[in-house]
Amino acid sequence: MPVVVSYRYDWFRIIEDISREGLTLSDIAKELDVSKTAVIGWKQGAEPRYFAGDALISLWCHIKQRRKEDLPTQILSRKFIRTPHSEYTPRRNARNFFSKTIKKEK
């Protein structure tokens, strides 16, 4: 069965990567124009608002000299997708339909 995987950004690792480059949490907060408490919250698992998250991503890309596609992510969920069985294909259903209507006419 095919699997659909949903990802989310790993804000903890993003902030840790920036911190390892020499910026403190206060420096990150000043750069993003948010409170230090907000940055601590994101590091502990809270989700930043869109504009703050986008600014943090841009800061990470600039400091790490990497692309947005390289951002650390976490798997959010995995879901299996059911595929129809061969008995449900249109060709087989059409054959069954016509064979039933021919039998009724006789």
33-to-8, 45, 60, 84, 106 alpha-carbon distances in Å: 23, 19, 15, 51, 81
Quick: pLDDT tens for 51-83. Answer: 999 999 999 999 999 999 999 998 888 888 877
pLDDT at 3: 84
Share of the chain above pLDDT 90, in %: 60
pLDDT at 81: 82
- Residue that the structure tokens 């703050």 belong to: 52
Tell me, letter by letter, the H, E, C secondary structure of 1-55.
CCEEEEEEECHHHHHHHHHHCCCCHHHHHHHHCCCHHHHHHHHCCCCCCHHHHHH
Is it the case that residue 22 has pLDDT exceeding 90? yes
pLDDT at 4: 86
Position 102 confidence tier, pLDDT thresholds 50, 70, 90? low
